Amino acid sequence: MDGQQGIAMSAWGTIELVGGGFALAAFLIAAVLAAYRARLSAMAKELLALPKDERARVLEVQREFFHIDASGLTRAQLEAIILEQIRARERRFRMGAILIGFSALMLALLTAYALSIDPKRVPPENATATVVGSLEGHWGSNIGVEYLITQSGHDFIWDVVPGKISMEKGRGKIVGSSVSASWSGSNGADTASGEAVIVDGRVTMIRWSNGVVFHRIE
């Protein structure tokens, strides 16, 4: 399960980094293409608005740019061909800007989705079970026995304070608010499960299935 979660985290992390970067690059490219398309559209309008003598000079420049063989062409024919070349290029750039812009939008949406469900940001279903309440300390009980509990992660150990029972050693586990333990000593051996009361990460009481209740002394 941990391996699958690790793969998922890696996959979503890759989408965040790569998808976000590609989306930004695509938006920039689409913006450049859109700007160039707008320039081509303006160029065609400017060409038509030029005086005849100035238009002839510009037509010659555009003829060389588009590599048009003007042999046998009238100026009106050359002008029509150049305008069509400009408009055709404008259409290509418009379509390119639309396609790249759409791709950028899809990448941005995928990145946002990856961020929203990234396993690193979403608590697991058993998140409450992974919270370890602190049992460490001196405990009393409703049977008049006192216990000293030490803890390491989910596991804990208790020793009785000599008194009503001279010797007893117990071992148990806490997962969320559920506890279980087994013990043996001068009063015999047994097992029990129980429910812990946790306040601010600290266990303050344990109600055992055998009727015994632990409560903190300190």
pLDDT tens digits, one per residue of 115-141: 666 555 545 554 444 557 899 999 999
Q: Is the domain of 144 the same as that of 80?
A: no
CB atoms closer than 10 angstroms to residue 5: 12
Determine the pLDDT at residue 171: 95
Which one of 87, 117, 147 terminates a domain?
Answer: 117
- Judge whether 122 lies within some domain: no
DSSP for residue 9? H
- Judge whether 173 lies within some domain: yes
Identify the three-state secondary structure at position 167.
coil
- Judge whether 135 lies within some domain: yes
For 23-167, list the strands marked E by DSSP: 137-141, 147-152, 155-160
Alpha-carbon span 22 to 13, nearest angstrom: 14
Q: Is the domain of 133 the same as that of 168?
A: yes
Q: Is the domain of 156 the same as that of 68?
A: no
The residue type found at 113 is Y
Write out the residue range of the structural domain in which residue 198 sits.
128-216
Report the pLDDT averaged over residues 84-94.
80
Higher per-residue confidence, 76 vs 44 = 76
Give this prediction's pTM.
0.43
- Altogether, the residues listed in the chain come to a count of 218
Higher per-residue confidence, 37 vs 203 = 203
Determine the pLDDT at residue 12: 42
Q: Is the domain of 177 the same as that of 104?
A: no
| Torsion angle in degrees (nearest 10) through CA of 39, 45, 46, 51 | 170
Report the pLDDT averaged over residues 193-198.
94
